[in-house]
Structure 1
Amino acid sequence: MPVITVPEAFNEEALYVDLRWSFGYSLYLKCEGFNFAGSIKLKAATEMVDAAERDGLLRPGSIIVESSSGNLGVALSMIAASRGYRFLCVTDSRCNLATRRAIEALGNEVHIITEPSPESGFLGARIDHVRMLCASDERYVWLNQYTNPDNWGAHFHRTGPEIAAAFPNLDVLFVGAGTTGTLMGCARFFRQWHRPVRIVAIDSAGSVTFGGPAGRRMLPGLGTSVRPAILDESYVDDVVLVEEPDSVRACHRLARNGFLFGGSTGTVVSGATGWLSEHDAHHLTAVAVAPDLGERYLDTIYQTNWLQGIYGEDVLSPRTRQSV
């Protein structure tokens, strides 16, 4: 029986859903949402805060500040509350209301950016705001998930080894690309593993991460309007771009079978099943990483009026995905 004294001490790391029953391929979904932060971002948040404390960057009275589309903000907010820091999350208007309320319920503050930067979108505007805050008060400590090696280090030390232990004959791993921390950490781990593993990055159409043109993106989590500094494409074998309506349809398909996942998981599952279909990969052992669960998306992905207002009335009809 686990007994803990701090919330970050608990994280279910060995739960997988076999999607063969629904999608027809041997695809195992690693569920990362069963912790008190509700997402895989707990790992990166813990690693970055631990390192900042060891390095003396975080001290009594420090205020942690971070740009986040939501999940890292909740994880940092939880850790800040546990360790006696204040936390300020800089997000934008696409962040789910439930996420913002969770951060505030934990006693912390949210700044919402309403206007994107003409050159670098909402992400650029958020980062500009963080830099302004840090320049205004030395108590602010920016962990900077976009450049911090402890972001990908968390997954090099934990997520990659967890998958390897569960699937010693792994052939292909599908990982969503946001800051690319999970992607880079897992890819670096499997590059030095005893057998080759194909690393497939799943990104949102409209993201510039892998050099594509910028486009509208309404689902928080995956994709960027500024190329992540920690990305090294030499570790990535394939990239699949997924249109947001396909992400939504994958979420609804999973939900119809009793599994309520978030938008990033829908994107990863849609991209992974598309890749497996194109490669006729029934013989491969494949794992996909599910970053979070679906409760924070009830007012968006699982709300018909929101969906139809954003994507049109045919949002749940079949569509295609794009590989690059």
Structure 2
Amino acid sequence: MPIISAPHEFNTEDLYVDLRALYGYPLHLKCEGFNFAGSIKLKAAASMIEAAERSGALTKGSTLVESSSGNLGVALSVIAAAKGYHFICVVDSRTNVATRKLIESLGSEVHTVTEPAEEGGFLAARLAYVRTLLAADPRVVWLNQHANPDNWRAHYRTTAPQIEKQFPDLEILFVGTGTTGTLMGCARYFKELPRPVTVVAVDSVGSVTFGGPAGPRMIPGLGTGVRPALLDTAFVDHVVHVPEADTVRACHALARGGFLFGGSTGTVVSGALRWLAEHRPGENGTAVAIAPDLGERYLDTVYQPDWVREVYGIEPTELPTGATQS
């Protein structure tokens, strides 16, 4: 029986969903949403805060600030509340209302950027605001998840070894890409092993992370408007870009099977199924996809028929009515 004294001390590491019955592919989904922050971002948040404390950059009286599309903001709010830090989360207008309310409920402050920058979109605008806070107050500490190596180190130390423990014969790993912290930590770990593991990065159409053209993205989480400093493509074997309409379809297909996952998870599952259909049709192998989040924070967007119709032109009758491949 786990007994904890701080919220970041608990995380479920060994829960997987076997998607073969839903989709016919040998794909296992590693569920990372079962902790007090509700997403995989709790690992990165804890790793970056602990490193900043060890270095002396973060001390009593400091104010944490971070740019986030949502999940890292919640994770930092959880830890800031437990440790007594003031936290300012800089989000943009795409961030789910439920996420913003959750951050505020934990005692943190939310600043919402409403206009994208001409170069770099909303992410660049959020980062510009962070820099104004840094310039105005020497007590402000920016963890900078997009360039902080303690982001990827969290997954090198925890996520990847746990996957290897459960799947010692792993052949293919699918990882969604935002800051690329999860991707880089897992890819570095598996590329150091003597046996080959194919690492497939799953990104959103409209993201510039892997050099594609910038485009509108309405689902927060994966994708970037500014290439992350953490990314090293030498560790990545393949990249799959998923249109957000396919993300929505994947989320609804999973929900029809009783699994309510978030937008990032829908993107990863859609990308993984497409890659398997193209590269391993009809083959039995060992594949794992990382599910970063659960679906409750997307009830007003991905799971809201009016929003889906308005943004993507998808009618409710066009969405999956059973758990079939998107």
TM range, normalised to the smaller chain?
over 0.9
What residue in structure 2 maps to residue 267 of structure 1? Answer: 267
Q: In 2, distance between residues paired with 1:167 and 1:199? A: 14
5+ residue gaps, structure 2, are: none
Please tell me whether the aligned partners of residues 94 and 219 of structure 2 are also in contact (alpha carbons under 8 angstroms). Answer: yes
* TM-score normalized by the length of structure 2: 0.96
Q: Which residue of 1 aligns with 2:202?
A: 202
How far, CA to CA, are the matches of 1:194 and 1:35 in structure 2?
A: 32
Q: Secondary structure at the match of 2:234?
A: helix
Following superposition, the deviation at residue 20 of structure 1 comes to: 0.3
C-alpha distance in 2 between matches for 1:57 and 1:100: 27
Secondary structure of 2:51's match?
helix
Q: 5+ unaligned residues in a row in structure 1: which ranges?
A: none
Partner of 1:288: 289
How many angstroms does 1:172 deviate by?
Answer: 0.3
State the Cα distance separating 1:294 from its structure 2 match. Answer: 0.3
Q: CA deviation at 1:193?
A: 1.2
User: 2:314 & 2:290 partners in 1: Cα distance?
Assistant: 30
How many angstroms does 1:120 deviate by? 1.0
SS of equivalent to 2:277: helix
Is 1:146 aligned to residue 146 of structure 2? Answer: yes
Structure 2 counterpart SS, 1:217: coil
Question: Helix, strand or coil: the match of 1:218?
Answer: coil
Q: Which residue of 1 aligns with 2:47?
A: 47
Within a 5 Å distance, the mapping from 1:2-81 to structure 2 comes to 2-81=2-81
Displacement of 1:194 after TM fit?
A: 2.8
Measure the CA separation in 2 of the matches of 1:311 and 1:157.
39
Match of 1:183 in 2: 183
Rounded Cα–Cα distance in structure 2 between residues aligned with 1:236 and 1:280: 18
How far is the alpha carbon of 1:182 from its aligned partner? 0.2
The amino acid of 1:170's aligned partner reads L
Contact 2:252 2:303 in 1 (8 A): yes
Counterpart residue type for residue 311 of structure 1 = Y
How far did residue 145 of structure 1 move?
0.3
Deviation at 1:317, TM superposition (A): 5.6
- Work out the CA distance in 2 between the residues paired with 1:88 and 1:231: 26
In the alignment, which residue of structure 2 is the partner of 1:155? 155
Q: How big is each residue's C-alpha offset from its partner over 1:224-279, in whole Å with a ceiling of 9 and x where there is no partner? A: 00000010000000000000010000000000011000000000000000000111
Aligned match of 2:244: 244
Q: Name 1:307's counterpart in structure 2.
A: 308
Quote the Cα distance in structure 1 between the aligned partners of 2:252 and 2:319.
11
- The alpha-carbon deviation at position 313 of structure 1 amounts to 3.3
- Structure 1 stretches of 4+ with a deviation exceeding 6 A read none
Q: Using the alignment, how far apart are the partners of 1:44 and 1:99 within structure 2?
A: 18
Distance 1:314 1:176 in 2: 27
Alpha-carbon distance in 1 for matches of 2:5, 2:177:
32
* Cα deviation code 1:34-56 (max 9, x no counterpart): 00000000000000000000000
RMSD of Structure 2 on Structure 1 (CA): 1.3
Tell me the distance in 1 between the aligned counterparts of 2:280 and 2:195: 21
Q: Give the equivalent residue in structure 2 for 1:164.
A: 164
Identity of aligned residues (%): 66
User: TM-score, with normalisation over the residues of structure 1?
Assistant: 0.97
1:216 and 1:143 mapped to 2: Cα distance?
Answer: 26
CA deviation string 1:149-204 (max 9, x = no partner): 00000001110101000000000000000000000000000011131000000000
The match for 2:278 is 278
C-alpha separation in 1, matches of 2:8 and 2:79: 7
Following TM superposition, by how much is the alpha carbon of 1:283 offset from its aligned partner in structure 2, in angstroms? Answer: 1.9
Paired residues in the alignment total 320
Q: Residues of 1 paired with 2:276 and 2:143: CA distance?
A: 37
Match for 2:59: what amino acid?
A: R
Deviations 1:83-128 (A, max 9, x none): 0101000000000011001100001100000000001100000000
Aligned equivalents of 1:207, 1:276: Cα separation in 2: 22
Cα distance in structure 1, aligned partners of 2:126 and 2:253: 33
Shift of 1:314: 4.2
- Whole-Å separation in 2 of the counterparts to 1:104 and 1:257: 32
Report the secondary structure of 1:135's partner residue. helix
Q: Would you say the 8 A contact 2:308–2:315 is kept in 1?
A: no
Deviation string for 1:268-317 (max 9, x for gaps)? 00000000011134221000000000000001000000110101134746
Q: Distance in 2 between matches of 1:194 and 1:60?
A: 44
In the aligned structure 2, how far is the partner of 1:218 from the partner of 1:162? 32
AA of the residue aligned to 2:52: A
